[in-house]
Chain A
Amino acid sequence: MPKLYTFLKYFFVILWACFVIAPFLWAISTSFKDFNSVTGGATYIPWLQFEPTLDGWSVLFKPGSQGGINIIGPYFNSIFVTLTASLISIVLGTLAAYALSRYTFKAGFVKNNDITFFFISQRIMPPVVLSIPFFLFLSTLGLLDSLAGLILVYIVLLMPIAVWIMVDFFNRVPKEIDETALIDGCNPFQAFFKVVLPNSVPGMLVAGLFCIIFGWIDFFFAFILTFTKVQLLPVKIVALNSSITPWWSLSAAALVSVAPLIIVAFIVERYLSKGNLSGALK
């Protein structure tokens, strides 16, 4: 039994690893191809099967007048918007989650759980639905095509995630710790900042990682709400989809866009292994 289980375990894990990695390997290989090597049928190994070229990669850094998309600016825009929106979402989300976890709210039939669901339910609306209203909203505020406008929208997108994770987190932190802080002379704010917050770093880190991921991979809002001044990475990359679909540069772009988040994956794993995170997600 254990032997069979071990065998099955390795078999399945390796199988899944192959499945996970396959599209990436394909993308790496494709990113060094050109039109002719793509349309000649599936090939995998450079030099042996096709003549590699850096064209797919160079497109990402050339200006438009030379047929490139120059992702450097959008790259930093994406990082800035994602991090800022995540940070604000965490701050607001953590505060709200703390209130929902520790205090009782009641307004008619609305109770804590309903408020929590209200936060999370913001993610039910498909982005396409919200895009036009958001457009008009930001247009009224004069925030279209601006980093601030995008951050504002991303907060709506990300705060529910932060609230969801942090409510869960706080529910598992004994409330007696806060009570002790109160008894020890802290008012509720001091109790939160001096005692609760320092002990919530793991939870906030998880929430932050999720926010970063969900912010980073959004395409739709970034697409609808910006024109020329502010462009985010996915929008810029999608603009590679011309009449000819350039498999090579899209592959290179896909790899470039996932690269920074691999660092995030390492951070998650590290904290997971150290056990710091495990308390944060349950």
Chain B
Amino acid sequence: MSLLIDHISFKPTEEYHLNDVTLNFNPGKMYTILGRTLSGKTTLLKTIAGLQTPDSGSINFEGADFLSVPVWNRNVAMVYQQFINYPHLNVIENIAFPLKQRKMEENLIEKEVKEAMEKVGLIGFELRKIQELSGGQQQRVALARSLAKKAKILLLDEPLVNLDYKLREGLREEFKKLFSGSEASNSILIYASTDPLEAMQLNGDIIVIDEGKVLQTGSAKDVFENPATAKVAEITNDPAMNINKGHIQDNTLVMNNNVQIQIPDQLKSIPNGDYQVGIRATDLYLDDNGFSFDVEISEISGSETFLHLRNNDLKCVATIEEVKTYEANEVVKINFDKSKIYLFKETGELLHSPYQQ
């Protein structure tokens, strides 16, 4: 009963949109595809939906070849990041559209539509025109249409990204509720996102994708704690994990001439050599005894301040848990939470994670 994607590649131009992707989705679970913009998330969803045909590879659903099934017979549902509805139809007609297309009985349609509208909280808006709704409401309509279909595969392509912060938080909670419901157990849910935080909150299986390639799959916790590569570490953190070249020599981690750290215990077993050193922005803190860094840019986000710092060729971002303005080129003292240091091989594979057993 699962969806099997087998060695799929898609290369419409010079660059791969999908590069040898192999994945396995099971019903009743939520999958989050995490990747940057243009990493191939949307292409993957569209390929599953049938809007795009891969150049090679196969897709198998419920034991049958899925690629030969045209999109309109696939029984999938998809919600886009743009609020896509049918502008010439009102709310009710929009939600009923796929059901009518399926030639469902009138009274059954009515029931299903009502149910879906209740779920997304659109009661009272039945006869509104789409243009008369706010962005959030429009997206609810799109969602309701997807839910009413009771599709076996539900694809959500950054459905919240165009909404403002508060709405996003609210809707995301509702999503979680909706998809943990009993009827969801029969469907495969695939949610694409660029936002690592969102991915963590949704708490499903995470698929990290970049340049059309699947980099890592696993539970949210696992991917967060043990990113398979430096790239994954960058993608799964916001701000991206600071990754810099460094080398270990005689129990000292040398980042550059100025920044040299005594190696913590857990890294003692690592042999001397060149590595990529990673540390999350949240694991940097202000410390009068720390290293001197020049502030390049400082930006305030909510209750935090992001500092873009530089010490010679060493660049990093630090998240400071307070709102404070810094001048450019101001010198700040920064220290690292040594226990949170990641080490990657020069080729990028994870060598050491602070969460490693």
The stretch that binds B, out of A23-31, A130-138, A175-183, A221-229, is: A175-183
Interchain nearest-CB distance for A181 vs B (Å): 8
**Known interface pairs A180-B86, A182-B72, A183-B51; 5 further A-B residue pairs with C-beta atoms within 8 A, sorted by A's residue number:** A174-B84, A179-B51, A182-B71, A183-B50, A184-B101
A190–B51 CB distance below 8 A? no
Chain A contact residues, CB within 8 Å of chain B: 174, 176-177, 179-187, 190, 195, 198-199
Q: For the complex, is B98 an interface residue (Cβ under 8 Å from A)?
A: yes
Interchain nearest-CB distance for A100 vs B (Å): 17
A-B CB proximity, top 5 nearest: A184-B98, A185-B101, A198-B88, A176-B84, A182-B71
B82–A195 CB distance below 8 A? no
A184–B88 CB distance below 8 A? no
Q: In chain A, what residue has the closest Cβ to B149?
A: A184
Given contacts A176-B80, A176-B82, contact A183 B102 (CB under 8 A): no
Interchain nearest-CB distance for B177 vs A (Å): 24
B49–A183 CB distance below 8 A? yes
Q: For the complex, is B4 an interface residue (Cβ under 8 Å from A)?
A: no
Given contacts A184-B149, A185-B72, contact A190 B84 (CB under 8 A): no
Q: For the complex, is B354 an interface residue (Cβ under 8 Å from A)?
A: no
Q: B residues 70-122 with Cβ under 8 Å of A?
A: 70-74, 76-78, 80, 82, 84-88, 97-98, 101-102
In whole angstroms, how far apart are the Cα atoms of A190 and B74 in the complex? 16
Q: For the complex, is B213 an interface residue (Cβ under 8 Å from A)?
A: no
Q: In chain B, what residue has the closest Cβ to A174?
A: B82
A183–B78 CB distance below 8 A? yes
Q: In chain B, what residue has the closest Cβ to A180?
A: B84
A195–B51 CB distance below 8 A? no
> Given the complex, which residues of A lie within 8 Å of B84, measured CB to CB?
174, 176-177, 179-180
Q: Size range of the interface on B?
A: 20 to 34
In whole angstroms, how far apart are the Cα atoms of A179 and B97 in the complex? 14
Some 26 contacts from A to B, beta carbons below 8 A apart, are: A174-B84, A176-B80, A176-B82, A177-B86, A177-B87, A179-B46, A180-B78, A180-B80, A180-B84, A182-B50, A182-B71, A182-B72, A183-B72, A183-B74, A183-B77, A183-B98, A184-B72, A184-B145, A184-B149, A185-B73, A185-B98, A185-B102, A190-B72, A195-B86, A195-B88, A198-B88
> Given the complex, which residues of B lie within 8 Å of A185, measured CB to CB?
72-73, 98, 101-102
> Given the complex, which residues of B lie within 8 Å of A182, measured CB to CB?
50-51, 71-72
In whole angstroms, how far apart are the Cα atoms of A182 and B155 in the complex? 14
In whole angstroms, how far apart are the Cα atoms of A190 and B46 in the complex? 19
Q: In chain A, what residue has the closest Cβ to B74?
A: A183
Q: In chain B, what residue has the closest Cβ to A191?
A: B72
In whole angstroms, how far apart are the Cα atoms of A152 and B67 in the complex? 43
> Given the complex, which residues of B lie within 8 Å of A179, measured CB to CB?
46, 49, 51, 78, 84
A187–B82 CB distance below 8 A? no
> Given the complex, which residues of A lie within 8 Å of B73, measured CB to CB?
185
In whole angstroms, how far apart are the Cα atoms of A185 and B46 in the complex? 15
> Given the complex, which residues of A lie within 8 Å of B86, measured CB to CB?
177, 180-181, 195, 199
> Given the complex, which residues of B lie within 8 Å of A180, measured CB to CB?
78, 80, 84-86, 142
B72–A187 CB distance below 8 A? yes
Contact of B72 among A174, A176, A186 (CB under 8 A): A186
> Given the complex, which residues of A lie within 8 Å of B76, measured CB to CB?
183
Interchain nearest-CB distance for B147 vs A (Å): 13
Interchain nearest-CB distance for A105 vs B (Å): 14
> Given the complex, which residues of A lie within 8 Å of B74, measured CB to CB?
183
In whole angstroms, how far apart are the Cα atoms of A179 and B50 in the complex? 10
Given contacts A179-B51, A180-B78, A180-B80, contact A187 B70 (CB under 8 A): yes
In whole angstroms, how far apart are the Cα atoms of A182 and B97 in the complex? 11
Interchain nearest-CB distance for A215 vs B (Å): 28
Q: In chain A, what residue has the closest Cβ to B145?
A: A184
Interchain nearest-CB distance for B49 vs A (Å): 6
In whole angstroms, how far apart are the Cα atoms of A199 and B82 in the complex? 17
> Given the complex, which residues of A lie within 8 Å of B87, measured CB to CB?
177, 199
Contact of B101 among A174, A176, A190, A198 (CB under 8 A): A190
Q: Of A182, A187, A195, which is in contact with the most chain B CB atoms at under 10 Å from its CB?
A: A182
> Given the complex, which residues of A lie within 8 Å of B49, measured CB to CB?
179, 183
Q: Of B49, B76, B88, which is in contact with the most chain A CB atoms at under 10 Å from its CB?
A: B88
Q: In chain B, what residue has the closest Cβ to A198?
A: B88
In whole angstroms, how far apart are the Cα atoms of A187 and B74 in the complex? 11
Q: In chain A, what residue has the closest Cβ to B86?
A: A195
In whole angstroms, how far apart are the Cα atoms of A174 and B142 in the complex? 15
In whole angstroms, how far apart are the Cα atoms of A199 and B149 in the complex? 23
> Given the complex, which residues of A lie within 8 Å of B97, measured CB to CB?
181, 184
> Given the complex, which residues of A lie within 8 Å of B142, measured CB to CB?
180
> Given the complex, which residues of B lie within 8 Å of A183, measured CB to CB?
49-51, 71-72, 74, 76-78, 98
In whole angstroms, how far apart are the Cα atoms of A198 and B90 in the complex? 13
In whole angstroms, how far apart are the Cα atoms of A199 and B50 in the complex? 24
Interchain nearest-CB distance for A170 vs B (Å): 14
